[in-house]
């Protein structure tokens, strides 16, 4: 499959050049998967997915045009390339547009162990889903309803080629099990969920563990009440702490930097975190969810320190945004590759004992983050913690502050690292936020 896709990508570039493109690039993807959901002990849905996509981008006299197709025949390639050229003829010349520099192309494509297909039948997936849901529903009599459990598996191949002569590709897989349930107490309903995901099925948590965790997280939300407005240390558990560093990436993305739309504008070289904070980008972690040998422009990815001793060391750039800033691409066309936030403390329990009273975030609501100013205001639910122990659940509060202050107010980063996404981070203890309630 991969060799066939690479041949198609090379053909697409060749055809685009023959039709008049100064430069051309082609990206192909093929994905297929299975998703099976159960609810209340019964099979609810079965979804099979199979997608193929081919995108051709051309550059003519500084003008750019793109077109896509789902077909791979020679005729389809010609028609798609012609459409891209037609679109380019109507666009404005842009001195920054074009392929990434040829010398930056990946010369080797290391095997990062990202492809582990799961021979999963519908019957097997249904059984695993029922096991997860049963574990949740049987955990406690207060679990009265279910949002269901889903078992998914998928795999595919990504290929990229351009007129520098570069052509590369690699296969990936991703598998997951999730479960969500509803608990009832004092005529109030609460819901929560849990999930596990990995490149290989053997890396998944057991269905029973997923269901039990979903039930436990749901039950602890019962009896929630509001707080009086206060300034108190806040702990983001690992699965939510990733979002804080997601805001960092948004602020230092090249697009926001050259548009002047970032609260960390021109902040490279500045201390934006305490000196204990270390953030590394590592594209080469085997089986990790965001590993990649090259980016969406064929540029070789590389390991680098993004934050060292609290100091911001660089931005997240594609070739276009880099040119706009007078810099060189960082190999991040398409996003970052495994942002590793180094722990500075023990796990979540240790962070909760750091102060006499702490607000532990359980859920964040809304989109109240202003990347331009750094103003931060998110609806939240969670838990009031005293002496390291949860006293009661909390709902209908708002976390408010500024991300500049929030970043500088990070007191500890836990060792309970969540490996399920692009950002690999433990729980984070932050001071300086206001918990707004009554």
pLDDT tens, residue by residue, 24-39: 999 999 999 999 999 9
Q: How far apart are CA 243 and CA 241, in angstroms?
A: 5
Q: How far apart are CA 290 and CA 335, in angstroms?
A: 9
pLDDT at 1 over 90: no
Say if residue 167's pLDDT is above 90: yes
Cβ atoms of residues 242 and 353 within 8 Å: no
Q: Are 299 and 319 in contact (CB under 8 A)?
A: yes
Instruction: Give yes or no for a contact between 322 and 257, defined as CB atoms under 8 angstroms apart.
Output: no
Tokens 């750091």 correspond to 354
Separation of alpha carbons 64 and 97, rounded Å: 7
Under DSSP, the state recorded for 105 is B
Helix (H) or strand (E) segment spanning residue 383: strand 375-386
Residue 275 contacts residue 309 (beta carbons within 8 Å): yes
CB atoms under 10 Å from CB of 269, counted, come to 10
Fold of 2-34+43-104: PmbA/TldD fold (3.30.2290)
Q: What is the pLDDT of residue 313?
A: 98
In 103-237, alpha helices (H): 122-137, 207-219
Domain with CATH 3.30.2290.10 in the chain: 2-34+43-104, 122-155+167-219
CB 337 within 8 A of CB 216: no
Where residue 141 falls among pLDDT bands split at 50, 70, 90? very high
To which residue do tokens 């590389």 refer? Answer: 302
State the pLDDT at residue 240. 97
Per-residue pLDDT for 366 more than 90?
Answer: no
**E strand or H helix at 194:** strand 188-198
Place of tokens 């590394």: 280
Architecture of domain 122-155+167-219: 2-Layer Sandwich (3.30)
Tokens of 53: 């996509």
Q: What is the pLDDT of residues 187-233, one digit of tens each?
A: 899 999 999 999 999 999 999 999 999 999 999 999 999 999 999 99
Q: CA–CA separation, 190 vs 182, rounded Å? A: 6
For residue 418, give the DSSP letter.
B
**Edge-to-edge strands of the sheet including 63-69?**
63-69, 42-60, 23-39, 143-162, 167-185, 188-198
């Amino acid at each position: 499959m991969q060799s066939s896709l690479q041949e198609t990508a090379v053909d697409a570039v060749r055809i685009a050049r023959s039709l008049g493109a100064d430069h051309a690039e082609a990206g192909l993807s093929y994905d297929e998967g299975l998703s099976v959901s159960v609810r209340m002990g019964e099979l609810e849905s079965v979804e099979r997915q199979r997608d193929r996509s081919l995108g051709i981008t051309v550059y003519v006299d500084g003008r750019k045009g793109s077109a896509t197709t789902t077909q791979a025949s020679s005729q389809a390639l010609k028609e798609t390339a012609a459409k891209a050229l037609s679109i380019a003829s109507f666009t404005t010349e842009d001195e920054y547009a074009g392929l990434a520099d040829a010398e930056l192309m990946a010369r080797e494509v290391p095997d990062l162990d990202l492809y582990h297909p799961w021979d999963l039948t519908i019957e097997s997936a249904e059984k695993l889903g029922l096991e997860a849901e049963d574990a949740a529903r049987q955990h406690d009599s207060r679990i009265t309803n279910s949002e269901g459990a889903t078992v998914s598996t998928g795999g595919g191949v990504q290929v990229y080629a351009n007129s520098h002569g570069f052509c590369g590709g690699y296969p990936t897989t991703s598998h997951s099990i999730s479960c969500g349930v509803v608990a009832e107490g004092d005529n109030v309903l609460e819901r929560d969920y849990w999930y596990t995901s990995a490149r290989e099925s053997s890396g998944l948590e057991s269905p029973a563990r997923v269901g039990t965790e979903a039930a436990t997280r749901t039950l602890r939300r019962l009896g929630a009440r509001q707080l009086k407005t206060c300034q108190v240390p806040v702990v983001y558990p690992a699965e939510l702490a990733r979002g804080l560093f997601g805001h960092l990436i948004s602020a230092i993305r090249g697009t926001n930097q050259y548009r002047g739309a970032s609260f960390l504008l021109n902040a490279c070289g500045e201390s934006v975190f305490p000196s204990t904070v270390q953030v590394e980008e590592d594209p080469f972690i085997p089986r990790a969810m965001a590993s990649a040998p090259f980016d969406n422009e064929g540029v070789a990815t590389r390991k680098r320190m993004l934050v060292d001793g609290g100091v911001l060391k660089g931005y997240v750039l594609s070739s276009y945004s880099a040119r706009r800033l007078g810099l060189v691409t960082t190999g991040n066309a398409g996003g970052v590759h495994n942002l590793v936030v180094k722990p500075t403390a023990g796990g979540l329990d240790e962070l909760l004992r750091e102060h006499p009273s702490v607000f532990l975030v359980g859920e964040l609501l809304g989109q109240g983050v202003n990347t331009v100013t750094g103003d931060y205001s998110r609806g939240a639910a969670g838990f009031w913690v005293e002496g390291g122990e949860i006293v009661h659940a909390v709902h209908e509060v708002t976390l408010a502050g500024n991300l500049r202050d929030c970043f500088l107010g990070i007191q500890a980063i836990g060792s309970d690292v969540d490996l399920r996404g692009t950002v690999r981070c433990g729980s984070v203890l932050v001071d300086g936020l206001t918990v707004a309630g009554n």
